[in-house]
Every structure is written in C-alpha cells, then in structure tokens.
Structure 1
Amino acid sequence: MESIPYDKRSGKIWFDGKPVNWSDVKIHVLSHGLHYASCV
C-alpha cells in the first residue's frame, strides 16, 4: 500500500475548529503535539 503525502491528500480534515482541505493545513515544525502526541 502506497503512502500518500499529507499535502497531496483529497478531502477535509478538522483543523482549528472547522473542516479544511488537507493541502491548506499547516502546523509549526516545533509543535509539541507533533513530536510528543501530548494533544491526543
């Protein structure tokens, strides 16, 4: 199964309180949740 890069995915994802396109979602590279998943 081939992995699709996140910026190339179709559809929407919940971000900042609203559904947005995958290609429009951006987070800071130093985001604590990205590295440690403390926001899950």
Structure 2
Amino acid sequence: INSIWGVMLQLQMWEECALWDVGKQRCQLGMLVFLIEFLVS
C-alpha cells in the first residue's frame, strides 16, 4: 500500500479493530509491521 488513501484506510481498520480488547494486541502488532514495511519500501 503506497497511496495515502491506502494508509488512511488501514488506519481506519486499526481504529475499528482496536475497539475490541481481544484484537488490540494483534492490531498494534499489525500496525508495527505495516509501518516498517511502509518505511522500508
């Protein structure tokens, strides 16, 4: 995902996912992986 719209969509998904306590850690991990891949690419 290299477009700003893709980033905004991903952030919205994380925001919704973070509302669920069970998925919070998984979302934070996914955010870390995504940011690393985004910065490296």
After TM superposition, is the score higher than 0.5?
no
Higher relative contact order (CA 8 A, sep 6+): 2
User: What TM-score, normalized by structure 1, do the two folds share?
Assistant: 0.23
Which is strand-richer, 1 or 2? 1
TM-score, length-scaled by structure 2: 0.23
Q: Which has the larger radius of gyration?
A: 1
